[in-house]
Structure 1
Amino acid sequence: MKIVYFTHSLASCWNHGNAHFLRGVLRDLIRRGHQVEVLEPQGAWSLQNLLADHGEAGLEPYRAAYPELSSTEFGSDFDPDRALDGADLVIMHEWNEPSLVAEIGKARARGGRFTLLFHDTHHRAVSDPDAIRAFDLSGYDGVLAFGETLAEVYRRWGWENRVFVWHEAADVELFHPPAAEQAREGLVWIGNWGDGERTGELEQFLMAPAKAAGLSLDIFGVRYPPEALAMLERYGVRYRGWLANARAPEVFARHLATVHVPRRFYVTTLPGIPTIRVFEALACGIPLVSAPWSDSENLFRPGQDFLFARDGAEVERHLRAIQNDPDLRESLVRSGLETIRARHTCAHRAEELLGFVAQLNKTARPAAQQLITETV
């Protein structure tokens, strides 16, 4: 099967978490014998920021880890018929421009002999629904939503049984425990500051407990404004800047534990959706403590795969226990790895994707329709 994926960027993971998941899934599809082509717009802001900060050297970890992957940039002379020639499956990520989304939908509606899916991996459907409604999805066959609560939004918008829950997962070829254990110390957190929507949570569930437990804290990520850096300095945090995702396993391997602090939308409005860092951390065999969120889809075994904390004081207690109890560390690592390997690898998600396509192809193609613009 020929698969064409329209992404924001495959090469850059600078503030672009979908690249993590996409790389692992596409690598698995290639190894299953499928032909994969990745298209991305010229001047993608993630790639431009990466190159501005780190130059071509910033791309080397990705290239070394994924030699079988490549992408083609397109510009104003983009020819959709040429790009889609021979395609069996086309997937459009929601970080693309509405004009491109509409253009590919029209190509499908004109009789394109491929299955066309829209891939949503963000909270904009609830945080900024007008931005999603700006997309003309009338020519699309289905939607891939990275959580059940997001899928339910699309069902309310009229997609019914044409929306599929497609969670992110870990690329276990890259994300795995170190071949040989080394000395571990301190706490690590890998994440972007973003728009300040979880400033209080990062202080309450990460910085303050780490300091209270006497653990050093290394933070990696981008988009940290001066006020964020000042907060890190007050807590004695070592800010390390951007980290290529392909290097995350070696960083996890040097630390005693990590913490999951979900963005506020994934606690309040879209519960049940963990970030990809949860899957990747557990796959690397590092004990994890999580701030509150609702595992409404039973993706994990809270208390076994990782430790939930209701407040900062409980995070501190968990961190002290992990620091002082080798048996607890071993148990968390073993359980977390077991769950990832059984249910949450990119190979699992590739298999799910092929199943979704088969399911759509078994039924008559529904008439094209516009999204229903009701209030979320």
Structure 2
Amino acid sequence: MQIVFIGLTISSSWGNGHATTYRGLLRELTAQGHEVYFLEHDKPWYSDNRDFDQSEHYHLRFYDSVDMLQEQFGSLVKTAEMVIVGSYVPEGVRVGRWVQDTANGVTAFYDIDTPVTLTKLDKGDEEYLTKALIPGFDLYLSFSGGEVLDLLENQYNAQRARALYCSVDPDLYYPMNLEKKWTLGYLGTYSMDRQPTVNNLLIEPAKNYVSKNFVVAGPGYPEEIAWPQNVQRIDHLAPHKHCEFYNRQQFTLNVTREAMIRLGYSPSVRLFEAAACGVPIISDYWKGLTDLFEEGNEILIARDTGEMESILKETTPEQQKAIGEAARKKVMHAHTAAHRAKELITYYDEVNNLVLTGDAGSVDL
């Protein structure tokens, strides 16, 4: 069938996690035989930093304004079987309202930022979505699952809230037989709410394990941070280097944003990518984490500096290997882009079947 995405960006992975998520999902939908379009508002900060593979078989189209979007792609949006508006789309409220008024197929809001979105809505910030728009979508596809789906339906009046987690591309993330360069590494852009955890779970252990090497990769860290001498800093690490980066670590650290911890059930793409590389992950704790990975067997959890130091000291190489392999097996079984594409079509079929039986509410196909 014909599926149209209107998203933040697929052409550039610069400064955002949307592009890689969309790329994997759209590639797999195309591989399953669907005709897929991605409509992107052409912005200079993305056009100047494009790393898009033009060999992909889905259709990427740019628009300069919402008026242009409506004029050039109105017919496509009207006739497509499914139209999906993503979070953080420029002028997203106007775009979402237009899609709801125009599309004859199933409409969905794809929230790649669910914890941030709900926090913004609760504060009255309607940058790209309003509470009034939510019930107008046939599906609310959420990066957060579990209890969050009930919250979306019961408190925010979503018709059907379904989890569509981030995923990993197995062709890009896989085990490599490389010499380990760092005992513990972390990949993540600086954020004020994550930094205390980075301090407790990496910087403080590095001070106490001066003979071991640590690494932090990612931009935006303030100059005043006092990094121990055994902590290497990499300001920017291009996506194509992430796999090797993970494979050079004995352990990799996963640190979660405050909004994601508060909401729970919000795995980051870094979690799945590191697991796909077979590298044992040490994560901070949040509700829902152990529903995805079994603590002790598929993931290790450190709640403070002492627990982190115990893990680094007491986990044998055999245990490291077993935990990394078990996490990779879990990801390959349930969290690849191919799995997400199949889930999306399942959700479409669910709505479409309700239409055919006359029990779909406002849906009109």
TM-score by length of 2: 0.86
Query: Secondary structure of the equivalent of 2:4?
Result: strand
| Alignment partner of 1:134 is 2:123 | no
The change in CA–CA distance for 1:128 and 1:350 in structure 2 (over 3 A counts) is same
Deviations 1:91-120 (A, max 9, x none): 11111134x44344334434x321110011
Alpha-carbon shift at residue 243 of structure 1 (Å): 2.0
Of 329, 337, 353, which residue of structure 1 is paired with 2:344? 353
Of 167, 171, 181, which residue of structure 2 is paired with 1:185? 181
Of 360, 366, 372, which residue of structure 1 is paired with 2:361? 366
Deviations 1:51-91 (A, max 9, x none): 3xxx56xx2xx538x74466222112222414425411111
Q: Bigger shift: 245-254 or 113-122?
A: 245-254
The change in CA–CA distance for 1:238 and 1:93 in structure 2 (over 3 A counts) is same
Structure 2 equivalent of residue 63 of structure 1: 53
Query: Secondary structure of the equivalent of 1:84?
Result: helix
The change in CA–CA distance for 1:127 and 1:137 in structure 2 (over 3 A counts) is closer
The change in CA–CA distance for 1:104 and 1:201 in structure 2 (over 3 A counts) is closer
2:283–2:300 CA contact under 8 A, matched in 1: yes
Question: After superposition, where does 1:160-309 map in structure 2 within 5 Å?
Answer: 162-178=160-176, 181-186=177-182, 187-194=184-191, 196-213=192-209, 214-227=211-224, 230-231=225-226, 233-234=227-228, 236-267=230-261, 269-295=262-288, 298-309=291-302
**What is the distance in 2 between the residues matched to 1:121 and 1:81?**
24
Structure 2 equivalent of residue 73 of structure 1: 62
**What is the distance in 2 between the residues matched to 1:244 and 1:163?**
34
Structure 2 equivalent of residue 89 of structure 1: 82
**What is the distance in 2 between the residues matched to 1:127 and 1:333?**
34
1:42–1:74 CA contact under 8 A, matched in 2: yes
**What is the distance in 2 between the residues matched to 1:103 and 1:291?**
37
Alpha-carbon shift at residue 255 of structure 1 (Å): 2.2
**What is the distance in 1 between the residues matched to 2:347 and 2:229?**
47
Q: Which amino acid aligns with 1:23?
A: R
The number of aligned residues is: 346
TM-score by length of 1: 0.84
1:101–1:137 CA contact under 8 A, matched in 2: no
Alpha-carbon shift at residue 224 of structure 1 (Å): 2.4
1:92–1:101 CA contact under 8 A, matched in 2: no
Structure 2 equivalent of residue 332 of structure 1: 323
Query: Secondary structure of the equivalent of 2:37?
Result: strand
Alpha-carbon shift at residue 296 of structure 1 (Å): 5.7
**What is the distance in 2 between the residues matched to 1:8 and 1:160?**
22
The change in CA–CA distance for 1:257 and 1:84 in structure 2 (over 3 A counts) is same
2:250–2:279 CA contact under 8 A, matched in 1: yes
The change in CA–CA distance for 1:174 and 1:236 in structure 2 (over 3 A counts) is same
Q: Which has the higher contact order (CA 8 A, sep 6+)?
A: 1
Deviations 1:156-191 (A, max 9, x none): 33535511111112111221112xx12112122111
**What is the distance in 1 between the residues matched to 2:342 and 2:3?**
14
**What is the distance in 2 between the residues matched to 1:68 and 1:313?**
50
Structure 2 equivalent of residue 124 of structure 1: 116
Query: Secondary structure of the equivalent of 2:125?
Result: helix
The change in CA–CA distance for 1:108 and 1:301 in structure 2 (over 3 A counts) is same
Deviations 1:280-316 (A, max 9, x none): 1000111111122222671111111111112111112
2:3–2:81 CA contact under 8 A, matched in 1: yes
Structure 2 equivalent of residue 146 of structure 1: 143
**What is the distance in 1 between the residues matched to 2:333 and 2:77?**
35
- What's the % identity of the aligned pairs? 24
Q: Which amino acid aligns with 1:150?
A: V
Q: CA RMSD in A?
A: 2.4
Query: Secondary structure of the equivalent of 2:249?
Result: coil
**Structure 1: stretches of 5+ with no match in the other structure:** 369-376
1:8–1:44 CA contact under 8 A, matched in 2: no
Q: Which amino acid aligns with 1:63?
A: D
The change in CA–CA distance for 1:290 and 1:320 in structure 2 (over 3 A counts) is same
The change in CA–CA distance for 1:104 and 1:266 in structure 2 (over 3 A counts) is closer
Q: Which amino acid aligns with 1:335?
A: A
**What is the distance in 1 between the residues matched to 2:258 and 2:222?**
19
